[in-house]
Amino acid sequence: MNKKIIKQLAEEHGTPLLIIDHEQIRKNYREFRKRLPRIQVYYAIKANSDPEIIKTLLKLGASFDVASLNEFNLIFDQVKHLEPRELQNFIWDNIIYANPVKKPDSLHVLNLYKPLLTFDSIEEMRKIKLHSPDAGLLLRIKISDEGSVVKFSNKFGIDPKQALDLIKKTKENRMTIEGISFHAGSQCNQPGNFVKALRTVAGIFKQADAKGYEIGETVTRGYPIKIVDIGGGFPVKYKGDEQSFEGLAAIINKEVDKLFPRDKVLLLAEPGRFLVANAGTEVASVVLAKHSTNPPSYHIDDGVYHTFSALVYDHIPITVRAIKGGTPKECRLFGPTCDGLDTLSENEYIHNTGKVFLPYLQEGDLVYTENMGAYTTASSTNFNGMPPAKVVHINL
C-alpha cells in the first residue's frame, strides 16, 4: 500500500490501525473465480468477520462458510429483508455451517432454515437428527494436511475407510447426505493433498452408488446432484516462496474435470485467508524508542494480543516496515502490553518470528505491516485494557 495513504489515514484515525482495501478483496475474488470457474466461493468468515467485508463479498455473489450461530447471524442480518421463500433459498444455496461440532441450541434455531451442515461422527449425526432433522448433511473426511501451516486432521474428519458405514447409518436414520467435504489445512503448500482427497471422495461416491446409498440434493433442483466441498487452504504469498495459486488451481481443475461430471456434481470451496489477507495493512506508532540498548528497542502500540495475534494462532511470518526512510538496522520490536510474550522480533515462544530491521526511529514514528487482513483482528483481545486496532475501510 502507498506510504502516503497510510500516513494520511494514521493521522486521521490514530493508531493502532488496520486498513482494509476492498478493491483488493474484489481482485482476489475475481482471481479465484477465474482460476477455478467450476467452484462456488463460500467465504470462510472466521478469517475476518467484519460486516463491511461481508457486504462487499455479498455484492460479488459470494456464498459463506460459518462456524457458529453468531457467524450465521452476520450473514442473516444482511439478507433478512428477503421474502420468505427467497430467504430460504438463499440460506440453502449460499450458507454452509462447516463446523463439524455444533451446540444443540444452535441446531434447534438453524432447523427453521433447513441448513447445510457438516458432520464427521455418528454422535454428531444423531445430535443433528434430534435438533435439526430437516438439515442437509456433508460428511467431512480426514485427509492428509502435510505441508500446511495450520492442520485440522488431528481434530476433524472421519477416516475414509469408515465413511461408507457412517453413510449407511445416516441413511438408516432418514437423514439426507448431500455430499462430502474435506480440508487440506490452512496455507496448504502441497497440491498433492487436494489430488488425493478428490480421488478419495470419488471413490466413496462410487462405493456408495454401488450399495444403493443415494447421495445428492433433490429438493431445489429436482434431480440428484452430489456436493463436493474442497474446503480452504489456498496459500497467500507471505514470503514469496509459497505454492502459487495459479499452479494449484490448474491441478485442481484437471482433477475435478476428470473425476466429477458437471451435471452430477456441484463443487464448493471455503477460501478465507486467500480473499482477505493481502487486503489488510496494519499501522502502528512507536511509543518508546530505546537507543540505549544494543540493538535498539522499539515499543509500538500494537502487538501479539491485538492485530499481531496471527503470529501466535496463525503462525504467519511478518515484515514490519517504517514510513520514514533511512538505513535499516537490526532492532528489537515489542508490543504495548506488560507481558514478555508480546515480542515481535526473535520471540523464543513464537517460532515464526525472526530478526527485524528498521531505520532509526523516534517516538511517534509510524511502522506498517502488509498481509494482515486474515486471522488478525479475528483473534484480537482487550488484554491490559488496550483495545484492538481501529479498522478503516477504503475503496468500498
How many angstroms separate the first and last alpha carbons of the chain? 16
**CB of 111 within 8 A of CB of 133?**
yes
Residues 6+ apart with CB under 8 A from 35: 245, 246, 249, 250, 253
Residues 6+ apart with CB under 8 A from 65: 42, 43, 44, 45, 46, 95, 96, 98, 232, 270, 272
Question: What totals of helices (H) and strands (E) does the chain contain, helices first?
Answer: 12, 18
Beta bridge partners of 39: 267
Q: Of residues 294, 325, 338, 351, which has the active-site annotation?
A: 338
| Residue 331 among the catalytic residues | no
Phi-psi region of 247 (alpha: psi -120 to 50; beta: other; left: phi over 0): alpha
Cis (ω within 30 of 0) for the bond into 16?
Answer: yes
Beta bridge partners of 229: 181, 268
Cis (ω within 30 of 0) for the bond into 295?
Answer: yes
Could you give the residue numbers annotated as active site? 338
